Amino acid sequence: MRGRFITFEGIDGAGKSTHLDWFADALRARGATVLRTREPGGSPLAERLRALLLSEAMSITTEILLMFAARQDHLDTVVGPALARGDWVLCDRFTDSTFAYQGAGRGAGSEHIAMLERWVQAGLQPDRTYLFDLPPEEAARRRAGARAPDRFEQEDLDFFGRVRAGYALRVQQDPARFVTIDARQDIAAIRAVLQGSIDTLWA
Ligand SMILES: Nc1ncnc2c1ncn2[C@@H]1O[C@H](COP(=O)(O)OP(=O)(O)O)[C@@H](O)[C@H]1O
Ligand SMILES: [Mg+2]
């Protein structure tokens, strides 16, 4: 059985992490061998780059290059080998986040990111991306109850509005890859949507 590369996307607080473990278990119940990972990070070197990205001030160009340096190592040492084994890879954020956060949120535009995407991914794209779509105001309320903010999560509502729009543009450009989830729903309703979409992954 061929593995699949599945990514979860959405602004901070939209519910990605809440649903990842459950989704991994649902896939395992269907017989898949699942590797759960995240970006930036997911390999020892990339996790060290993540720590820098989440804490240090840097230029937008440096930020984009570090993101893709981390991504290259993660793909080379973790994601690529897992997919080659036939495992299912479930990743919390991937390149759509770079387009949405650095490209749209920070205003870097998509040109250089698209160039790095072609170079680093060499044609690899997720088989499916679940986009958790939530208004920034509600995401901020949920985050406030949950954790201390990192460097990205300290951004204001306008920033997350641009990130959300950046994600919407990615969906427009590749609609077949995305399942957009209205994350205003409660957790049980979202699980039902995810459960309902699992069968189509075997198609
Ligand atoms: N559908 C939901 N309704 C209400 N609260 C939610 C929902 N999904 C997640 N949460 C809560 O919102 C907060 C942020 O969720 P989280 O999964 O950490 O988001 P993300 O990983 O996308 O940043 C957590 O406290 C989580 O329990
Ligand atoms: Mg999370």
Q: Which of 4, 33, 7 is nearest to 20 (CA)?
A: 7
CA distance linking residue 136 with residue 111, whole number of Å:
26
What percent of the chain has a predicted confidence (pLDDT) above 70?
100
The model's pLDDT over 30-75, given as tens digits with 9 standing for 90+, comes to 999 999 999 999 999 999 999 999 999 999 999 999 999 999 999 9
Which residues neighbour ligand 2 (ion) by CB within 5 Å?
16-17
Looking at the CA of residue 132, tell me the nearest atom of ligand 1: 22
Taking CA atoms, 87 is separated from 80, 161, 201, in Å, by: 10, 35, 13
More confident residue, 126 or 147: 126
Nearest C-alpha to atom 3 of ligand 1 is from which residue? 186
CB–CB of 53/87 below 8 Å? no
The Cα–Cα gap between 66 and 21 comes to 27
pLDDT tier for residue 1 given thresholds of 50, 70 and 90: low
Contact 87, 3 (CB under 8 A): yes
Q: Is the pLDDT of residue 202 over 90?
A: no
Which candidate, 164, 168, 106, places its Cα nearest to that of 135? 164
Domain 5-37+83-202 belongs in CATH node 3.40.930.10: no
Residues flanking ligand 1, CB < 6 Å: 10, 12-18, 132, 142-143, 145-146, 183, 185-187, 190
Domain ranges in the chain?
Answer: 5-37+83-202
